Amino acid sequence: MQDEHVAYEVRDKAAYITIQRPERRNAIGSLTSEQLIRAFHTASADPAIWAVVLTGAGDRAFCAGADLKEMDESAKAGQSIHGQTDLHRALLNVILDTYKPTIAAINGTAVGGGCELLLACDVRIAVAGAMIGMPEAKRGLAANFGSVVLPRMIPRAIALELLYTGRSIRAEEALGFGLINRVATREGFDAAVASFVKEITDNAPLTLARYKEMSVKGWELPVPTALTLDVGPNPYVSEDRAEGVSAFLEKRRPQWRGK
């Protein structure tokens, strides 16, 4: 599937969603957001997809954030701009509500709304030297999603420093405090992404979906309350549970069916 701004490709049980605006450093405008939302809905609804990868075209940027030119033109035309109600918020919610593992493959700069995209994903792999940050304070904007989520993902003082100063950090520094899971060289990036994705999709898809839904819905609940949740597929009554146990006892690779 190929839209004007977004490409959708299926490889080895994973959907690869690519922002295709390298000439604009993969900035997100309204059309881009609409097409990304459609791509994530497609991946969510397809039982053959066990994980979703989000990346950007080219080697300069994962996503440079909002399309400021489009935003400025909208403001001049008298259109209301509000971070709590726009398509970008809808997009981030759709990513969070994709109950399959989501992987941000950060091929270059990820700032502003682009940083929020990687925050919405479950795990993150970045090319060495990629710059990550929330420069909204330098633009007179407000990172609504980032200001809520970033302090929950990394030490609060570090998160607030990044928000207050608007400075960007390299992927290697982000790796140090757990914002990034893995860093790969530019030459080995594609292979590292594929390997990371395979480590995930080699496992039982119903279990992956269960983990995602339980962890998202139980994120801010007290532990006793979260432990009472029963959301997502139940792997214990699945054919895959029987297959997984048999494969372990027989010392062979399991053949998952997602049933």
> Which residues are annotated as catalytic?
116, 136
Cα separation, 42 vs 172, in Å, equals 33
Residue 93: count other Cβ atoms within 10 Å of its Cβ.
13
Instruction: Dump strand ranges (E) for the chain.
Output: 6-11, 14-19, 51-56, 61-63, 102-106, 109-111, 123-127, 131-133, 168-170, 182-184
Buried b (16+ CB within 10 A) or exposed e, 155-188: eeebbeebbeebebbbbeebbeeebbeebbeeee
**CA-to-CA distance for 87 and 98, rounded, in angstroms?**
16
Strand partners, 14: 11, 51
Query: Quick one: DSSP state of residue 236?
Result: G
Q: How many angstroms separate the CA atoms of 83 and 85, rounded?
A: 6
Looking up tokens 């309350």 gives 225
Cα–Cα distances in Å, from 216 out to 159, 176, 226, 236?
20, 24, 10, 20
Cα-to-chain-centroid distance, residue 73:
28
